[in-house]
Structure formats: structure tokens, C-alpha cells
Amino acid sequence: MFELIFKNMLRDKPIVHCITNFVTVNDCANIILSGGGSPTMAHHRGEVEEITEKSQSLVLNMGNVHEVDSMILAGKKSNELKHPVVIDPVGIGASKLRDETFAKLSQKIQFSVIRGNISEIKAVANRKGMTKGVDADETDMVTEDNLKQTVVMAKRLSEELRSVIAISGCIDIVADKEKAYVIHNGHPIMAKITGTGCMSTALIGAFCGGNPDNILEAAAAAVATMGVSGDIAFEKMKRFDGGTMMFRMFLIDSISNMTSEIINGGMNIEKI
């Protein structure tokens, strides 16, 4: 299945329109390129609709709370054109502004994928009154112990919002209302560089742009690619006695050198 996802990416070289934050924008552009897509970071409200028309998918990153109008214009246009729209609700729960911004965006735009860490996805779920079972895990980490329960939450949330839900962490979950992929790749050092989450969202945007009819598998393939690349990058970093910045370099490098053989060999994924 994933082989087809990769093949489509390489064939289509999808243009991915990102309206994203200034902290990690360069990493996001580079990870899209490394995955075979073509990034465009236009965020001026005077052009985002036109740019989105020429793109294959849209990535909205709430780390940028200055450009909500642009996000709405681009998001509505993408919905019209049936382009995949991926949102990263960065920092939802951390301020009223973020919560209101997400509320506004989700009122106007139908998201194909919502990607966040478990705290962010819980904050999204809590908005829907889905508190029961959601706050059970006090450590806010997906572990083997709470995995099943989190998958149930993700599937319910997916059904409720009609979006694929991608939860990043030591264990990643990518779910629609019926199926969930659980991915055990990646390394804790990924939390020691800024932008791993944003990059993951950007890569999901690229994979969905090349596979608009297969959003769940495209999102899962992107998350698995990040994880496998994290594994490879950590090994390379150790070999060169490096640190977090060398890890970042090798993370994107590994994606730029990724083949379906490498990913199939390295992937630790289950479907539940």
C-alpha cells in the first residue's frame, strides 16, 4: 500500500501550500522538498487563494496566529477544490487566542487531517465535549498502557470531525473512524529539536497532495517516514559523535534519500 503512496509522490511532485509559523518555516519547506514535493509558503491574504488554486494540498500551522484571515481564505478555496487540508493546532490549550483561532478555523474549514501531540489532540477533543476517557492519562504520553484507549478516542474524534487524526509521540497513531495505524518508530531526541511536529505536518501535506484519494494511508506513510528517518538519523548522529543539530540534518537527509525499500525495512507499524 505504502509503495503506491511513495510512487504517487515521486510522479506528481505535488505543490504544497503552507501557511505556517516563522520559527520552523525553513525546515518545513526543506522537508517537503526532501520528500519529493514542492513547497510554497505564500501567506499574504491578497494572494493565498490564487496560490492554493495552483497547489495540490494546503498545510495550516497555528504557530502562526497572525495570518488567520489568510488561512480561512486558503482553506475555503481548498475545500471548494477538494484539495487535502492538513492542520497543526500548535499550542491549542496554551492560550485563549489559540483556542479561539482553532474554533474559527474549524468552523470555516473542513480538515482532511489534524496532526498534533497528545495534549493538542486532547484539547481538540475537549472542545467537542469528549472529555470522558480523554484526560485519564495524566502524564500526557501515549504508552502501551493507554494505547488502546487512545486509539478509541482518536477513532471517535475522527468520526466526529470527519478528519484523519494523527497523534505524534513515542508511539504515533494515525486513525480514521474505522482503522488506526500505530507506528513505533522514531526516537526521543526528536523532541530536542524545534519543529519535528511542524515538519511532520508539512510532510503529511506533501504525501496527501500526491494521494488525495487515500488520506489515511498517505498520512500514516508520512508519519512512518518521519519515524524511520528519525531512527536512521539517530544512528548516524551517534556514529559521528554529534548532537541535536546533526540529528536534524540527518533527519531531513534521510527523507531525501528514502526509498520504499528502506521504509519497508525500517517500519514498525501495526493496523488496529
Cα gap 245→162, rounded to integer Å = 37
Between residues 24 and 150, which has the closer beta carbon with respect to a copy of itself? 24
Amino acid at 181: Y
C-alpha cell at 252: 531531513
DSSP structural state of residue 40? E
Query: Interface with a copy of itself includes 44 (CB under 8 A)?
Result: yes
Between residues 170 and 193, which has the closer beta carbon with respect to a copy of itself? 193
State the DSSP H helix or E strand holding residue 60, giving kind and residue range, or none if neither.
strand 57-61
Query: Interface with a copy of itself includes 246 (CB under 8 A)?
Result: yes
Cα-Cα-Cα-Cα dihedral sign, residues 104, 195, 166, 45: positive
- Of 145-153, 167-175, 210-218, 239-247: span binding a copy of itself (CB under 8 A): 239-247
DSSP structural state of residue 191? G
Helix (H, G, I), strand (E, B) or coil at 63: coil
Specify whether the backbone of 187 is left (phi greater than 0), alpha (psi in -120 to 50) or beta: beta
Between residues 141 and 147, which has the closer beta carbon with respect to a copy of itself? 141
**Which of 5, 9, 19, 21 is the binder for a copy of itself (CB under 8 A)?**
21
Query: Interface with a copy of itself includes 249 (CB under 8 A)?
Result: yes
Indicate the pairing of strand 172-175 with strand 180-183: antiparallel
**Which of 131, 143, 257, 259 is the binder for a copy of itself (CB under 8 A)?**
257
Query: Interface with a copy of itself includes 212 (CB under 8 A)?
Result: no
C-alpha cell at 26: 525553513
Between residues 31 and 154, which has the closer beta carbon with respect to a copy of itself? 31
Please, what's the largest Cα pairwise distance for the chain?
Answer: 50
Q: Under rule CB under 8 A, which residues in 137-166 are in contact with a copy of itself?
A: none
Query: Interface with a copy of itself includes 259 (CB under 8 A)?
Result: no
- Residues making contact with a copy of itself (CB under 8 A): 21-27, 29-30, 33-34, 39-42, 44, 46-47, 50-51, 54, 63, 65-66, 91, 94-98, 192-195, 242-246, 248-250, 252-257
